[in-house]
């Protein structure tokens, strides 16, 4: 069902959506949900995998590209290392000898850094305004949540040191304080599920008091598993008000309560979700 009367843009609700006035804590994904610094990362990861994957007889580059895209997006929201582990498995099942997944991860990050280096430098020297690298409407949403007194958490599948650096470049640290979590090379000691469990445990709250914003399968599934509200945003056409239909269908399929293209309607949406 698409509800339009109270919204300026497109907002789509799942049939099971219901207001949650009891929400007391808010969790955000980082890349694609708030930050656009790494926008276009699949355009780095997919070509790298296409380049390195052994071919099956008669298999085209386009067929490999589609397979790699599906693989990485299914794991979107998890730590980057899991996409590398998946790729290593693909190499192995085709008779190849894969490199260590950490090697693939570090090579991917090296290539990605080449793509985003100018964005980060522009943020540092002021030639790019921080809000240019945020999903449309993100800062007013954060200000509104802070004004409501709702504690906010940030959890990213990107390595922690990069999350700290990029959150600071985007002037986001002040909204989250010490409640920022990112991936570790020792990947078994971090997951978004662990962060969610920690939020619930440390605050002694049930899952239905957690509201989460994300654009990946993983955070949507994790939040729905504990009974939370999940809002899925789309970075692909930032500011256009359009949704990426591929992403929309899959995020609704894994349980998103609401799908939005960006945060232009955040205030009205919060009033509906929080019934206040």
Is position 146 within any domain?
yes
* CATH number, position 176: 3.40.50.1000
Q: What is the pLDDT of residues 214-240, one digit of tens each?
A: 887 777 887 887 665 666 666 666 778
Confidence of residue 3 (pLDDT cuts 50, 70, 90): very low
Whether the full predicted model's pTM is greater than 0.85, yes or no, is yes
Domain count within the chain: 2
The tens digit of pLDDT for each residue in 158-210 reads: 899 999 999 999 999 999 999 999 988 788 888 888 888 999 999 999 998 99
Residue 225 included in any domain: yes
> Do 176 and 260 belong to one domain?
yes
Q: Which of these three, 85, 103, 125, is where a domain ends?
A: 125
Is 2 contained in some domain? no
Could you tell me the residue range of the domain that residue 94 belongs to?
42-125
Task: Spell out the long-range contacts of 130-135 with Cβ–Cβ below 8 A and sequence spacing 24 or more.
Answer: 130/169, 130/170, 130/171, 133/35, 133/36, 133/37, 133/169, 133/170, 134/34, 134/35, 134/36, 134/170, 135/32, 135/33, 135/34, 135/35, 135/36, 135/233, 135/235, 135/238, 135/262, 135/263
How high is the pLDDT of residue 245? 81
Residues 107-131: tens digit of each pLDDT: 999 999 999 999 999 999 999 999 9
Check whether residue 144 and residue 188 sit in a common domain: yes
Q: Residue 6: inside a domain, yes or no?
A: no
The percentage of residues in the chain with a pLDDT greater than 70, rounded to a whole number, is 94
Q: Are residues 59 and 28 part of one domain?
A: no
CA–CA separation, 55 and 156 (whole Å)? 33
Q: Is the dihedral of CA 210, 212, 218, 220 positive or negative?
A: positive
- Please indicate, yes or no, whether residues 263 and 199 belong to a single structural domain of this protein: yes
Specify if 5 maps to a domain.
no
Boundary-marking domain end, from 84, 104, 125: 125
- Phi/psi class of residue 180: alpha, beta or left (left: φ > 0; alpha: ψ in -120 to 50)? beta
Determine the pLDDT at residue 227: 62
The percentage of residues in the chain with a pLDDT greater than 90, rounded to a whole number, is 59
């Amino acid at each position: 069902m698409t509800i339009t009367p109270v919204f300026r843009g497109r907002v789509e609700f799942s049939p099971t959506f219901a207001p949650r006035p009891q929400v007391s804590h808010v969790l955000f994904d980082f890349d694609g949900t708030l930050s656009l610094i790494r926008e276009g990362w699949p355009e780095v990861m997919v070509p790298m995998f296409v380049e390195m994957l052994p071919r099956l007889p008669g298999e085209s580059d386009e067929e490999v590209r589609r397979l790699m895209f599906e693989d990485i997006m299914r794991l979107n929201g998890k730590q980057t290392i899991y996409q590398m582990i998946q790729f290593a498995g693909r190499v192995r099942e085709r008779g190849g000898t894969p490199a260590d997944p950490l090697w693939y991860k570090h090579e991917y990050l090296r290539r990605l850094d080449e793509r985003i280096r100018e964005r980060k430098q522009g943020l540092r020297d002021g030639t790019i305004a921080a809000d240019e690298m945020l999903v449309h409407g993100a800062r007013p949403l954060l200000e509104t949540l802070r004004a409501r007194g709702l504690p906010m958490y940030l959890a990213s599948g990107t390595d922690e040191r990069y999350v700290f650096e990029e959150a600071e470049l985007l002037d986001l640290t002040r909204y989250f304080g010490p409640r920022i979590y990112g991936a570790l090379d020792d990947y078994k000691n971090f997951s978004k599920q662990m962060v969610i469990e920690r939020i619930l445990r440390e605050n002694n709250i049930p899952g239905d008091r957690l509201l989460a914003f994300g654009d990946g399968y993983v955070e949507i599934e994790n939040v729905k598993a504990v009974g939370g509200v999940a809002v899925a945003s789309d970075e692909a056409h930032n500011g256009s008000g359009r949704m990426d239909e591929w992403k929309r269908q899959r995020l609704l399929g894994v349980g998103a309560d609401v799908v939005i293209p960006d945060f232009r309607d955040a205030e009205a949406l919060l009033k509906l979700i929080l019934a206040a």
